[in-house]
Amino acid sequence: MPGYAECFSDLWDHRLALPLARVCPPAEVLRQEGAKSLLQVIKDHQLSMRRDCFAKVLVWAQAAPTAPPQHELLRQFLATPSTTID
């Protein structure tokens, strides 16, 4: 997600940046579906977002490069709760 971090004052300390990154569709999906898609993700995952941050994420999606093929696999890995192997 090149450029995504610039949407937030501090990627690691911002309460929304990482949770949104885990559930947000790829930038090309946001480009195609627009604000409605992002708003639905926010509602579905009970996140709250200020308007200025919402706008920054949409602007990022417009300029972001196409995700590599491994992106979806990585998203699934990050979204899956960790397990331990005994």
Q: What is the pLDDT of residues 30-50, one digit of tens each?
A: 888 888 888 998 899 898 888
Domain count within the chain? 1
Calculate the average pLDDT of the chain: 82
Which two structure tokens, joined as six digits, stand for 55?
Answer: 């706008």
85 found inside a domain: no
Range of the domain at 42: 4-79
pLDDT range class, residue 84, cuts 50, 70, 90: low
84 found inside a domain: no
68 found inside a domain: yes
Distances (CA, A) of 18 to 1, 2, 10, 32, 81: 12, 14, 10, 22, 15
Which two structure tokens, joined as six digits, stand for 46?
Answer: 């009970």
- N- to C-terminal Cα distance for the chain? 33
Give pLDDT, residue 24: 82
> 81 with 20: CB under 8 angstroms?
no
64 found inside a domain: yes
56 found inside a domain: yes
Give pLDDT, residue 82: 63
